Structure 1
Amino acid sequence: MDSALDLGLFIVRLALGPMLILHGYNKVFGSGGLEGTTRWFAGLGLKPAWLHARIAPVNEIGAGLLLTLGLLTPLACAAFVGLMTVASLTDHRGKGYFVFKGGWEYTLLVGMVAVGLAAMGPGDWSLDHAFGWEPQGWGWALGAAVVGVVAAAGLLAVSYRPEKKDAEPVPASEP
């Protein structure tokens, strides 16, 4: 690969990987700790919340570490897509597009960049390259997208049970 392209891929991996590692770390060691994450996930409708509060940071830290190192890059990209799909359909759902309003702009961007990385491959500055594996191309991109979305759909199908919100009361008509 071209050294400028390798540098660009390395920079993107260094932007995304540690970001997701820190998101996972915060779920465990942030101000609310696992208990706060459990309450948050319960409020989102993920059942059992205590289990999701533990699975999510393991996935985030693991996928972030793999992507940062450029190791098993297509798997890491699929995990990013799955995590961002779940986040979009739970925490960011119904809030519009823009992230400053709680929308899914951020999760879409992160997921799409992960698919782009799966297409480009991790570059020569990666453990995948050091081990002689060069995963790149449209097949890897499609695979990361499909595996991520299917995994997210499976998780949501078996464990997403949001509380039904009461409908707005209909105002009485005037006589």
Structure 2
Amino acid sequence: MANLGLLIIRLVVGLTFVGHGAQKLFGWFGGTGVTKTGEWLESIGIKPGGTIWAICAGLFELVGGLLFSAGVLTPIGAALITIIMIDAIVSVHGRNGYWLTNNGFEYNFVLIAVVIGVALIGPGDYVLFYRP
């Protein structure tokens, strides 16, 4: 059952990050795409090069989510997700305190704990490629 539990966690968290990356990079799933995401990043003080940072954030989310959900190079996927969540805390949510009700970093922190926990435990037996 632990392997099934790890699979569920990996798929839900990983594919959610794939979706967030696709929102930033391609404007899919109601996202704003690279240009508007870059403009928003510049509006919160990430200058110069908001568009470049939007591409980096989107790639970290997309690639990190793919690796994490597939159970392939899980620690690298977890690291990419952790980096982007730390950035979200530093850039946006940290100044609002912990609780999500105040737009704080509670959710980002929980996601960091989940991906690091799975990376330390391992992805389980249900992965994209066979692991001996």
TM over 0.5: yes
Q: Evaluate the alpha carbon distance shift between residue 109 and residue 31 of structure 1 in structure 2; reply closer, same or farther with a 3 A threshold.
A: closer
Q: Which residue in 1 is equivalent to 2:8?
A: 11
| Structure 2 SS opposite 1:94 | helix
Distance 2:31 2:125 in 1: 38
Taking only aligned residues, the RMSD between alpha carbons, in angstroms, comes to: 1.4
Give the residue type in structure 2 aligned to 1:127: L
CA deviation string 1:29-80 (max 9, x = no partner): 0453222101111122223211001111111111101111100001111111
1:40 aligns with 2:40: yes
Normalised by the size of structure 1, how large is the TM-score?
Answer: 0.69
Q: Which residue in 1 is equivalent to 2:82?
A: 81
Q: Which residue in 2 is equivalent to 1:24?
A: 21
1:90 aligns with 2:91: yes
Q: Which residue in 2 is equivalent to 1:113?
A: 114
Distance 1:52 1:92 in 2: 17
Give the residue type in structure 2 aligned to 1:7: L
- Give, in angstroms, the shift of residue 104 of structure 1: 0.1
> Contact 2:3/2:126 (CA < 8 Å) preserved in 1?
yes
- Give, in angstroms, the shift of residue 25 of structure 1: 1.2
Return the structure number with greater helix share: 2
Distance 2:7 2:116 in 1: 15
Distance 1:122 1:58 in 2: 21
Give the residue type in structure 1 aligned to 2:32: G
Higher-Rg structure is: 1
For structure 1, list consecutive stretches of 5 or more residues without a partner in the other structure. Answer: 133-175
Normalised by the size of structure 2, how large is the TM-score?
Answer: 0.90
> Contact 2:22/2:31 (CA < 8 Å) preserved in 1?
no
